[in-house]
Amino acid sequence: MSSAHELAREQRHLDLLHRQVDLRRAQADAELRGTLRQSSPTPQARVERGVTAQRLSTQIARYDAAEHGLCFGRLDLADGTRRYLGRIGLPAEDREGEPLLVDWRAPAARAFYTATAGAPQQVRLRRHLHTRGRRVVRLDDELLDGVSGAPGDVELTGEAALLTALQAGRTGRMRDIVATLQAEQDRIIRSSRTGVLVVQGGPGTGKTVVALHRAAYLLYTHPRLVERGVLVVGPNPVFLSYIGQVLPGLGETSVLLATVGELFPGVVATATEEPAAAAVKGRHTMADVLAQAVRDRQAPVTGPVDLDVAAVWVRLPASFLEQAAERARGSLLPHNLARPLFVQDVVAEAARQLAAARGQLERELEEELARQVDLAALDRSAAADLARLFGSDAAESEDEAAAEVTSAEEFWRRVLPQEPALRRLLDRLWPLLTPQRLLADLYADPSRLASAAPQLTATERRALRRPAGAPWTPADVPLLDEAAELLGHDDSARRAREERQRAEEVAYAQGVLDIAQLGAGDEELAAADVIDAERLADRHGEADLRTVAERAAADRSWVFGHVVVDEAQELSPMAWRLLVRRCPTRSFTVVGDVAQTSEAAGASSWNEALTPFFGDRWRLEQLTVNYRTPAEIVRASERVLAEIHPDLAAPRPVREGAPAPWRAEAPAAELPGRAATAAREELSAVPDGRVAVIAAPEVLPALAAELPEASWGDAPDLERRLVLLTARQAKGLEFDSVVLLPHGIDALGDLYVALTRSTQRLCLLHPAPVPHLLADIPLRVLDAQR
Ligand SMILES: Nc1ncnc2c1ncn2[C@@H]1O[C@H](COP(=O)(O)OP(=O)(O)OP(=O)(O)O)[C@@H](O)[C@H]1O
């Protein structure tokens, strides 16, 4: 019970906290403006300015994020200390006493989440402050008196506040849970950053929300992590938009949210494909296929290659080309970076042959001329006499000939790289390749596929076929990334572009100086006297003010400080290879549920999925309490879970007493109409909440025609009260009520996902007969269709 007196006292403290935050925000804001106004005369100063601006922007984002729910808890300790907890920390005004506010991630906040009646950890009272805007509206107190609950109970921390949070209507956006974190979740959030932490848990156990809070915790406890950022990987863009507000709401901006399909800058991989094709693309063996595909592009010859340069035929034998390729490969450089070695060998050989052939030709010409001119014959006989006398002239002329050949060779080495015929040949023998070209050429050509992928069956190779220019799918992205590694980045074009741009900037600056000079009178100090064009160009250069997330998103080679993988059971081995490259220190939080796998290339056991990448260096934590689904809905999904994974127990629900789920039968043709009626009834049953109709993809258009008010498609608006989704799109999301059309949702993992999305109400509509795994759900007979 919140007495008016207590409410007023907490309101006074909250007012004080907000005044402090306002002050600090205003200071940071002024400092940021000042920083942005400064000019930065050197590249070093520009970098420093960028870093300062970043730091201040991060601080401001944290203050802004703390506007709602700034302070949510209070602990009264046995020694009389009183500690307030909030989204950010604020030191005591005198800097010595107890801080005004303790950040939820600080060690001093921990007891708020872990103290129980049985193990109070010096806590006498735990108080939850419920606020609306800047007003305290309710208090929930718990006295921790050393008496534990009955054994076997789910021991909840701050039960009243937790249940209030769980029963609140959904908004279409995931909310943070800093005020009501539970002890088992807190342990995972604060677990060491090093190594790979795997969190297995059934639907609704808080895996996603815990993983996001862990990212916020790690960024707070390891400030250097802010510079490298954290990557959060989710299964699809709809899910990412659902969770997108949680970390900014916690004041963390150094986080990039992405699907695997978005992790190759410059490629938009949104096309769909047959599951069989995605499954083959996800297999580990594709790394070998790509390596062979690259090799197949290096000196692909079966016989000698002839080249016509400057009217001379040069012959490059196959054995020579193979040796040159082997030497280039021996450098262990990626394909594009090893190319100059191959080119060098070919040019040297061609130059040698050309010089020799041209030398020979010239000698023959001279001899021919000499034969025809008497004088020359005389000269030659005189030379021969001299040679007989002194014996050295002949040798000297051979040396001369050799020296001539060497300088001719050098000449040809310099000239040949410009020779169009040779360039065309080198483009065929060792082409500069982009990942896109390598992969598109491979998919488009059955003979290339047959050569690169003999380990695949003919059917599997056929599954990979697609015409050149076809759009990319998410399963292509890990292959493009793998190809990028094998090919190496040839950034000479970028460097040339940057140099050109720099030259233009300097030229522009010079122009500015020239004009200033013209305008300056004799006695005035001209700009050019105090600054040169280079420095002026520097001064106009901009500091990089992009956030860490923006910079990381644009850079394939960006290395993150930590990676969070959600719905990790869906990841293929090729996707794991990509992610390990993004974080070579292997600092990962991996969350998922092997009972909810939908992707054909996904995992059915963590051991199988992770051992190839992390050996046995990963640790497993389990979440066992279901916060989302009430007991009635858990029971409705139990048979499906038992069919998928007989060993996995459904998580224990914290809530009971929801309306019983029901199912109804209707002919297939009537289903969209029936579903529309049910959806509208559900909307009235949850007036503040959200309703989802989940169905097979082919049913959605007919549903959409019946429910024009609903949002659906590739990017449904989850904040709309009614959405239509496929089971895949519904992964990771939740709604107050779900209308499920199971017909056509064939993968059991998908069906399990669909059955476990609701926080309150669930009904199913299907044609007869009922699928046997759903037969236990009570049948309701519908009125005749109106
Ligand atoms: N401690 C908590 N306090 C308040 N709400 C919580 C708490 N833990 C979990 N929840 C809520 O439970 C719901 C389920 O959480 P979440 O989506 O993270 O579960 P999940 O394990 O990822 O589920 P799924 O595997 O089905 O996607 C969310 O609404 C989340 O906010």
Average pLDDT over residues 514-527: 49
**Residue 380: CB partners within 8 Å, gap ≥ 6?**
370
Report how far residue 437's alpha carbon sits from residue 8's, in angstroms, rounded to the nearest whole number: 68
Any atom of ligand 1 within 6 Å of the Cβ of 176: no
Average pLDDT over residues 127-139: 95
Report how far residue 198's alpha carbon sits from residue 677's, in angstroms, rounded to the nearest whole number: 42
Q: Over the stretch 62-118, which tens digit does the pLDDT of each residue have? A: 999 999 999 999 999 999 999 999 999 999 987 777 899 999 999 999 999 999 888
150: pLDDT strictly greater than 60: no
- Strand intervals (E) in 46-156: 71-77, 82-86, 102-103, 123-132, 135-143
Q: Over the stretch 646-702, which tens digit does the pLDDT of each residue have? A: 888 889 999 999 999 999 999 999 999 999 999 999 999 999 899 999 999 999 999
Average pLDDT over residues 588-606: 83
Q: What is the pLDDT of residue 155?
A: 73
Question: If pLDDT is split at 50, 70 and 90, which confidence band does 393 have?
Answer: very low
Strand partners, 564: 232, 589
Strand partners, 198: 590, 620
Report how far residue 333's alpha carbon sits from residue 338's, in angstroms, rounded to the nearest whole number: 5
Any atom of ligand 1 within 6 Å of the Cβ of 733: no
For ligand 1, the distance from its centroid to the CA atom of residue 361, given in whole angstroms, is: 84
Residue 758 to residues 170, 733, 765: CA-CA distances in angstroms? 10, 9, 16
Atom from ligand 1 closest to the CA of residue 753: 26
Report how far residue 748's alpha carbon sits from residue 733's, in angstroms, rounded to the nearest whole number: 18
Any atom of ligand 1 within 6 Å of the Cβ of 185: yes
Residue 299 in contact with residue 338, Cβ under 8 Å?
A: no
What pTM, to 2 d.p., does this model score?
Answer: 0.84
Q: Report the percent of the chain where pLDDT is more than 90.
A: 67
Q: To which residue do tokens 């060779």 refer?
A: 409
Is 205 within any annotated ligand binding site? yes
Nearest CA to 508 among 551, 532, 537? 537
Q: Ligand 1: which of 199, 208, 214, 567 to mutate, most ligand atoms within 8 Å of CB? A: 208
Residue 347 in contact with residue 413, Cβ under 8 Å?
A: yes
What three-state secondary structure class fits 765?
Answer: strand
Average pLDDT over residues 34-62: 85
User: What would you measure as the largest C-alpha separation in the chain, in angstroms?
Assistant: 129
Three-state secondary structure of 688-737: CCCEEEECCHHHHHHHHHHCCCCECCCCCCCCCCEEEECHHHHCCCCEEE
Question: If pLDDT is split at 50, 70 and 90, which confidence band does 377 have?
Answer: low
Residue 426 in contact with residue 348, Cβ under 8 Å?
A: no
Any atom of ligand 1 within 6 Å of the Cβ of 162: yes
Atom from ligand 1 closest to the CA of residue 211: 18
Is 207 within any annotated ligand binding site? yes
Is 202 within any annotated ligand binding site? yes
For ligand 1, the distance from its centroid to the CA atom of residue 752, given in whole angstroms, is: 16
Is 208 within any annotated ligand binding site? yes
Q: To which residue do tokens 């009520």 refer?
A: 737
Average pLDDT over residues 486-492: 76
Nearest CA to 482 among 283, 228, 339? 283
How far apart are the two ends of the chain, measured CA to CA in Å?
Answer: 50
Any atom of ligand 1 within 6 Å of the Cβ of 182: yes
Q: What is the pLDDT of residue 288?
A: 98
For residue 299, give the H/E element and its range: none
Any atom of ligand 1 within 6 Å of the Cβ of 181: yes
Count of alpha carbons within 13 angstroms of residue 695, beta-carbon side:
24
For ligand 1, the distance from its centroid to the CA atom of residue 200, given in whole angstroms, is: 13
Lowest mean pLDDT among 56-70, 279-293, 397-411, 594-608: 397-411
Q: What is the pLDDT of residue 130?
A: 95
Question: If pLDDT is split at 50, 70 and 90, which confidence band does 524 have?
Answer: very low
Strand partners, 149: none
Report how far residue 294's alpha carbon sits from residue 317's, in angstroms, rounded to the nearest whole number: 22
For ligand 1, the distance from its centroid to the CA atom of residue 629, given in whole angstroms, is: 10
Paired tokens of 486: 């094998």
Q: What is the pLDDT of residue 378?
A: 55
Report how far residue 652's alpha carbon sits from residue 205's, in angstroms, rounded to the nearest whole number: 9
Q: To which residue do tokens 């789920």 refer?
A: 661
Residue 681 to residues 171, 618, 721, 761: CA-CA distances in angstroms? 19, 47, 13, 11
Q: For the complex shown, is ipTM > 0.90?
A: yes
Amino acid identity at 357: A
Amino acid identity at 634: V
Which DSSP state fits 292?
H
